[in-house]
Amino acid sequence: MNGSINILDLVVHASLPVKLVLLILVIFSFTSWVIIFRKKAMLDASTRDADDFEERFWSGVDLAALFREVSNRGADAGGLAAVFESGFREFVRQRQRGSGEDRRAVLEASERAMRVVGTREVEKLEHNIEYLANVGSISTYVGLFGTVWGIMVAFQGLGTLKQATIATVAPGISEALVATAMGLFAAIPAVWAYNRYSTRLERITLRYETFQEEFSSVLQRQMHAEQPVAPAPGRAEARAR
């Protein structure tokens, strides 16, 4: 059809600045899609691992046995498993150092260790998320710059013509508008992915924080259970009172 649009032909005949803008937008789009697919795999794996670990944790397994199981996994232990390992390791370390009598200090040390590891785990998941936000913010403006430049070149070319018609202006404007279309093509998926993944990250972060509070409560109950019961006062002590 004569009315069909040949995008490749428009790009080939575009001016050099417009071609550079299109190249930048193609790079933005390609890297965004790479990050989108990788981040989806990371978030899916993190959610799946959290589900499996919480099911194991609340199944009534012995904490020491679970700690050994997680420790044997080494670097493969991440997410909630890493948070649990850091908290329980610090808990045991404080008890072995003779801080068992000060239960508040033991729990605070364990909570600090979990917060540090939890923050690191969230930072791993957040890596490159801001790139999607940047692409979504500036791609449309980069494309608009290419369009404006292309239209300027098209109108400058009209100055050499004695008679200007739509037929003479249309090709140059069409070439310029390709930059705007490419900017939208790069921006829309990046913005959608950023909003989607930011929401999932907030849920995972809240899940980590909730687990830290629940695990602290478990450790506190364990310390109370291990607290020795004071002997009942004898008759002589009772009379002295």
**How many residues would you count in the chain?**
241
Tell me what the mean pLDDT of segment 179-199 comes to.
93
At residue 173, does pLDDT exceed 70? yes
Is there a contact between 80 and 211 (Cβ–Cβ < 8 Å)? Answer: yes
Q: Which helix (H) or strand (E) holds 6?
A: none
pLDDT bin (cut points 50, 70, 90) of residue 236 is very low
pLDDT digits (tens, 9 = 90+) for 86-141: 999 999 888 887 655 577 888 889 999 999 999 999 999 999 999 999 999 999 99
Q: Please tell me the predicted confidence (pLDDT) of residue 112.
A: 93
DSSP notation for 17-71: HHHHHHHHHHHHHHHHHHHHHHHHHHHHHHHHHHHHHHHHHTTT--HHHHHHHHH
| Domain parsing of the chain, residue ranges | 7-225
Is there a contact between 86 and 121 (Cβ–Cβ < 8 Å)? Answer: no
Q: Please tell me the predicted confidence (pLDDT) of residue 12.
A: 65
Tokens of 69: 């199981």
Q: What is the DSSP letter of 178?
A: H
pLDDT digits (tens, 9 = 90+) for 42-94: 999 999 999 999 999 998 888 889 898 888 887 677 889 999 999 999 998 88
Is there a contact between 178 and 22 (Cβ–Cβ < 8 Å)? Answer: yes
pLDDT bin (cut points 50, 70, 90) of residue 168 is low
The CA distances from residue 37 to 60, 126, 179, 205, in Å, are 36, 14, 25, 21
Tell me what the mean pLDDT of segment 162-181 comes to.
69
How far is residue 222's CA from residue 67's CA, in Å, rounded to a whole number? 15
Query: What Rg, from alpha-carbon coordinates, does the chain have?
Result: 31
**Confidence (pTM):** 0.78
Tokens of 46: 């993190």
